[in-house]
Amino acid sequence: MNVHTLSPRKRPFHSQQSGSQAIAFIDMRYLRWLCGLDGRDAAPVSRAQVNSVVLNALDQANLNAHLLRSYCYADHDDKATFDDQTLRLLPPADTDGELAMVRQMSADLMAVANGMGPELIVIASDDQRLIHTIDVLKLQGVKVCLLADERVKAMPRLQQNDPEWARLLREADRRLVVQAQDLAHALSAGAQAGQHTVHEDVLQAVVNEWWSGLPLDEQDWLREELPSLRGVPPELDRELLRRTKMAIHRSLNEHEKRLLREQARRVALGDAHNEEPVVADE
């Protein structure tokens, strides 16, 4: 495409709504890095609050916009479904230097530029390879906003400490500031809520199938032994984890393991014996 031949086009949305239509393109790895949740042992994050984060940032910038949809780019399938979100699955970033993310996001952005897309686009990424695509969008009459944290308020210092990121941010029409602490809370809270809604019924089904298949004498033995144990017997724990991994095709995280053990105790002992949260005996 010859970007010099492009001219701004009239877009149909402004007359239909009180504010501009917006689409967000979110690199989930970037969000994790932005709020310090990108380490190997970091807590899981969720897409559940991504749209709210974008809308809050737009409101803080006094941009009256309706968020039509968010595209989230991630290397892990969280098996979750959220309204007004599309998940783009990518290979792990350390295998291709995030080239797949840049190509996919650029292709999606160019599709917007070539069609009758929204008046406003929000991008969450620090990859300067997006600069050319951003320039094309601006030539098409699209307002481009980049999501960043408080460091963007001190641009001269950022240019010294991270010149590539600063260069990308300077290409935007507007820079939307999110507080790193608020972002971390939103992503973590969404993960904790999502774990209950996404997996609880599946875990309960695994526990019910395991219990119904136990001989009566083993059920009686567990009813007698579990009250004296803080968690569940190690051999039972391994069996439940094996069954669950087969059901959801991945290993459980620590929160899900805890919930699985609680459900196993609840089924074996009955609701009358419901206790404090428990962990398996090692």
Residue 274 pLDDT exceeds 90? no
pTM confidence score: 0.64
Q: Can you give the pLDDT at residue 282?
A: 39
Region 225-231 average pLDDT: 80
> In this predicted structure, what is the pLDDT of residue 142?
94
**Six token digits for residue 20:** 């501009």
CB 52 within 8 A of CB 25: no
Look at residue 178 in the predicted model and tell me its pLDDT: 94
Topology of the domain comprising 3-178: Rossmann fold (3.40.50)
Q: Quick one: average pLDDT of 100-128?
A: 92
Average pLDDT of every residue of the chain:
82
Domain positions in the chain = 3-178, 195-273
- pLDDT, position 187: 84
pLDDT of the residue at 166: 95
Q: Which of 196, 198, 210, 136 is nearest to 171 (CA)?
A: 136
Sequence-separated (6 or more) residues with CB below 8 Å from residue 54: 22, 24, 26, 67, 70, 122, 124, 147, 176
Cα–Cα separations (whole angstroms), residue 268 to 160, 221, 231, 271: 61, 10, 12, 9
